Amino acid sequence: MAVPRLGQRRRNSQQRVPILRRPLPRAPQVGPTKLTGWVVRRRPDVWDIGPGPWYWQGKPATRPEFITLLVLHKLGWNPRFQTDILGGRRLPGGQVLDIVLDEHQPIIYITVKSYHHLGARASYYDAVEEAVVRSVIKDARVLEVWEKDIDQPGWLEAFLRREVGIRGR
């Protein structure tokens, strides 16, 4: 039994089929380096928080949640993260709230949303979650922070200053 040559694979013992080799799409190139040969140009990161995983109050956080918590902390607030209501994830109908500012009157609940919240089913479940929050916490304000808006320079801090304010002022 002969071994197929480079660039060919054996379909059966009688036939050799050439492998079509297409060039791979190349990333934008900036210039050569000693180690890699080329550097890929990326959009600069607005938030220099390093690679994950990120934790807040001992609980794992996604990148947008962590950035929102950092900005709230910078504004002087002490936000509660991943707060259980109605039994949390353990009981049917329970909720886990992303970020809660219970020092603020009325209480503010901040939900951090991503692209997977865009569909009709997700919108329905988000509305149900908001109704449950409003039934448990009567005067709660619900703020939505979208992941796509967080990377716009200065947007998140301006939004939270306008909606929440600076603590102590």
Please name each of the domains of the chain with its CATH number.
62-163 (3.40.1350)
pLDDT at 40: 47
Instruction: Examine the pLDDT at 72 and tell me if it is beyond 60.
Output: yes
Q: Is pLDDT larger for residue 2 or for residue 132?
A: 132
The mean pLDDT value for 74-82 works out to 89
pLDDT bucket at 151, cuts 50 / 70 / 90: confident
Q: Does residue 106 have a cis peptide bond before it, meaning omega lies within 30 degrees of 0? A: yes
Q: Is pLDDT larger for residue 127 or for residue 88?
A: 127
Q: Which of 84, 79, 66 is nearest to 147 (CA)?
A: 66
| pTM for this predicted structure | 0.67
48-68 pLDDT, tens digit per residue, is 777 778 888 888 888 888 889
The mean pLDDT value for 81-89 works out to 81
Cα dihedral across residues 48, 49, 53, 54: positive or negative: negative
Helix-, strand-, coil-residue percentages of the chain, each rounded to 5: 30, 25, 50
Instruction: Examine the pLDDT at 45 and tell me if it is beyond 70.
Output: no
